[in-house]
Amino acid sequence: MSKLYLTLNETPQVILDVMGNVEQQARGARSSWNRGCLMALGLLALGLSFFCLDMVMGYNCLTFSLVGGVLWVAAFIVGLRLLMTGRARVESDQFSAARTIIQTLKDDIGKKGRLIGWLDLTGPQQKSKIFRTGRTSSGRTKTYYRDPWLQTKTKLVDGNLLRLTLMEQIKVKKGYVAAREQRLKARLVVNQDLYRIRAFSQEEIQANLPPARLDVQGGIINLAYAYATGRQFNPWDVLNALKYLYSHLEPKAELASSAAGS
């Protein structure tokens, strides 16, 4: 996955268009990289043919072999450049998950609503993302990284304010990743002019969410949970968790109508 960092401060559709352009540019760069590989292989094959000409025709090594050597040097330069640039691609699970989440929330945000935050796919193993270090029983260093790769804040069309953070935590020992965990944090600031929050029961939380910490303070719902280590990230788990939070919002207009009817 090529490193990618996007600052988000636009409407969802604009952000989705930018992500589409990034994919298109990556496909173009990938095609150029593939053509470069073919060119390097072609130069190697062509250079070999000149060496063979010298051997078959019995000329000295400076007749055709010199041309072959030049072609091989050119192939080496092209290959080295390809290795330095790398093969561009953006089909990571995180990129696809972010796009799915933004696409699904688009109608809830509205055409004029903005999504503010970032999409950081530069990777977790950076000095700025270290949050703890320790020692193994053998005395070797173990490093813990916390990577909030998607963080967004937006006001929804019904006046609720949604903050969402998706992060990856990894533990590195002896230079390799020993443990990996995906975490979600969501905060829903409820528009109390429109909604009342129905109480959450512990049994219901356990039935609808993985092991989670959920609390309600006034008109604010906070949710945090972690995926089991090694489990693949699924954006629909995030969306279903948000849907579950919304299922506990009862419109006050409906409550007033029910009270009037009774």
Among residues 50, 68, 85, which one ends one of the domains? 85
Among 85, 106, 141, the domain boundary falls at 85
Query: Same structural domain for residues 68 and 26?
Result: yes
- Check: CB of residue 5 under 8 Å from CB of residue 18: no
The whole-number pLDDT of residue 28 equals 67
Specify which residues 116 forms β-bridges with: 9, 153
Enter the pTM of the model. 0.74
- With b for 16 or more beta-carbon neighbours within 10 A and e for fewer, the 198-237 pattern comes to eebeeeebeeebeeeebebeebebbbebbbeeeeebebeb
Q: Cα separation of 127 and 119, whole Å? A: 18
> Residue 116 domain-assigned?
yes
Give the DSSP H/E element, type plus range, for residue 92: none
Structural domain including 25 reads 15-85
> Residue 251 and residue 253: Cα distance in Å, rounded?
5
Give the position of tokens 């979600």: 184
Do residues 139 and 204 both lie within one domain?
yes
Residue 122 lies in a domain: yes
Contact 138, 117 (CB under 8 A): no
SS3 231: coil
Q: Is residue 9 part of a domain?
A: no
Do 253 and 147 reside in the same domain of the chain? yes
**Cα three-residue angle 255-257-259, rounded to 5 degrees:** 70
Q: Which pLDDT tens digits describe the chain residue by residue (262 residues)? A: 567 899 999 999 999 999 988 887 777 666 776 777 777 788 777 777 767 766 766 655 566 677 777 777 777 776 777 666 655 555 578 898 999 999 999 999 987 899 999 999 988 999 999 999 888 777 788 999 999 999 999 999 999 999 999 999 999 987 788 888 889 999 999 999 999 999 998 888 888 887 788 999 989 999 998 876 556 678 998 999 999 999 999 998 765 555 445 4
Task: Classify residue 237: in a domain, yes or no.
Answer: yes
